[in-house]
């Protein structure tokens, strides 16, 4: 058990560091090629921050552990909303002033409902996986479109401009990109191996491991980025990071995993875990959407989200093992 736990811990650390280096390399390389910081942030960086979940789930499917793949994706979406945004709002209330970010929340709802529709028969097969990946292409096109249409005064433009590095040469950017990807792959393999062995040793399903330990671990990059962004008053980045990550988790994590290995949805996934994910997505929409255009996530709401996260994990660990 000690070796397996050490492998998981090493995997988490490598995923966090690798994701940071990959985002740096990808963002700097794209900026050197003349792509606008807003487009980089909405597409390339949003995709890159979900790479830990993507690689962990693909690796799990290749290793014949599809339960770990779906558990990681659903659990990460739950953790991103309830833990990441909850903790961030407690530290620093989050204002939703970006029209671009506000438009992404209904898209997140649509993506979540698409997954639920495909999962209603208790099975996500290769065809469903291709549907999710095809939807990812449409989502990227739509995000790029709203990025082009966003107003010059949208605060998220300035936030991305300040955060996307402009002083990294192409050679260094490519080096960080390649190194980050290599470290991510190593971390994903270590994490999946350790998680599978721990699940076997203590006799629990890989779904539960994915929903809890792995999901929280792969959400650590989002937690770090979101808290730092909020403390720097980059509120559009703080909440946009979570919204983008959840959309990519649903489409770019579950899609390829299902295409590689069909995923059978257990009863608890359909009656507990997916409904919790849907409920939190609706709660996020209700908490942040304001018809006056000034939605805000308050400290009290952050505390409620963290309390919901703790209660969900307590129930999952205590009553579904």
Say if residue 18's pLDDT is above 80.
yes
Q: What domain count does the chain have?
A: 1
176-224 pLDDT per residue, tens = 888 988 998 898 888 888 887 887 787 778 888 888 888 888 887 778 7
In angstroms, rounded to a whole number, what is the distance separating the alpha carbons of residues 103 and 110? 12
In angstroms, rounded to a whole number, what is the distance separating the alpha carbons of residues 248 and 255? 10
- Give the chain's largest Cα–Cα span: 55
We report the CATH number of the domain holding residue 16 as: 1.20.1420.30
pLDDT of residue 292: 53
Range of the domain at 93: 2-319
In angstroms, rounded to a whole number, what is the distance separating the alpha carbons of residues 230 and 227? 5
Phi, psi of 264, deg, nearest 5? -90, 125
128-183 pLDDT per residue, tens = 999 999 999 998 888 878 777 765 666 677 767 776 777 788 888 889 888 988 99
CB under 8 Å to 41, separation ≥6 — which residues?
Answer: 27, 156, 159, 160, 163, 164, 237, 240
**Residue count of the chain:** 321
pLDDT of residue 154: 66
pLDDT of residue 151: 58
Q: Which residue is it, tokens 């770090």?
A: 224
Contact predicate 223/14, CB 8 Å: no
pLDDT of residue 179: 92
Beta-bridge mates of residue 264 = 123
Contact predicate 225/241, CB 8 Å: yes
Say if residue 230's pLDDT is above 60.
yes
Taking each continuous run of H as one helix and of E as one strand, the counts in the chain are 18, 4
79-108 pLDDT per residue, tens = 999 999 999 999 888 877 777 777 788 889
User: Encoding tokens for residue 198?
Assistant: 């721990």
Span 246-275, average pLDDT: 91
More confident residue, 140 or 294: 140
Say if residue 311's pLDDT is above 90.
yes
Say if residue 270's pLDDT is above 70.
yes
Give the confidence band of 320 by pLDDT, cuts at 50, 70, 90.
low
Strand, coil or helix: 96: strand
CB under 8 Å to 219, separation ≥6 — which residues?
Answer: 76, 79, 80, 83, 84
CB under 8 Å to 45, separation ≥6 — which residues?
Answer: 23, 26, 27, 164
Say if residue 16's pLDDT is above 60.
yes
Give the confidence band of 295 by pLDDT, cuts at 50, 70, 90.
low
pLDDT of residue 106: 87
Q: Sign (positive/negative) of CA torsion 115, 120, 124, 127?
A: negative
pLDDT of residue 75: 92
Say if residue 303's pLDDT is above 90.
yes
CB under 8 Å to 221, separation ≥6 — which residues?
Answer: 15, 16, 19, 20, 49, 52
Task: Report the share of the chain in percent with pLDDT over 90.
Answer: 26
Min mean pLDDT across 20-29, 70-79, 308-317 is at: 20-29
51-74 pLDDT per residue, tens = 888 888 888 888 888 888 899 899
């Amino acid at each position: 058990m000690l070796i397996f736990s050490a492998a998981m811990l090493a995997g988490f650390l490598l995923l966090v560091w690798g994701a940071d280096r990959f985002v740096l390399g990808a963002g700097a390389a794209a900026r050197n090629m003349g792509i606008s910081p807003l487009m980089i942030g909405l597409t390339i960086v949003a995709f890159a921050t979900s790479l830990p979940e993507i690689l962990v789930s693909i690796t799990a499917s290749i290793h014949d552990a599809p339960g770990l793949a779906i558990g990681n994706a659903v659990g990460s979406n739950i953790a991103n909303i309830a833990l990441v945004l909850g903790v961030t709002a407690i530290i620093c209330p989050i204002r939703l002033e970006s029209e671009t970010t506000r438009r992404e929340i209904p898209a997140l709802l649509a993506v979540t409902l698409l997954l639920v529709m495909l999962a209603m028969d208790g099975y996500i097969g290769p065809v469903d996986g291709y549907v999710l990946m095809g939807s990812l292409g449409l989502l990227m096109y739509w995000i790029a479109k709203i990025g082009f249409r966003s107003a010059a005064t949208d605060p998220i433009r300035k936030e991305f401009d300040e955060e996307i590095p402009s002083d990294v040469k192409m050679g260094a950017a490519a080096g960080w990109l390649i190194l980050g990807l290599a470290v991510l792959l190593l971390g994903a393999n270590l994490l999946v191996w350790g998680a599978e062995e721990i699940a076997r040793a203590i006799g629990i399903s890989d779904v539960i491991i994915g929903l809890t330990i792995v999901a929280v671990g792969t959400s650590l990059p989002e937690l770090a980025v979101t808290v730092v962004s909020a403390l720097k008053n980059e509120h559009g980045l703080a909440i946009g990071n979570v919204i983008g990550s959840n959309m990519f988790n649903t489409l770019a994590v579950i899609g390829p995993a299902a295409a590689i290995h069909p995923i059978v949805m257990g009863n608890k996934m359909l009656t507990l875990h997916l409904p919790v994910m849907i409920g939190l997505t609706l709660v996020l929409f209700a908490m942040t959407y304001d018809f006056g255009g000034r939605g805000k996530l308050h400290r009290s709401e952050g505390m409620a989200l963290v309390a919901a996260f703790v209660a969900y994990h307590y129930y999952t660990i205590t009553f579904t093992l």
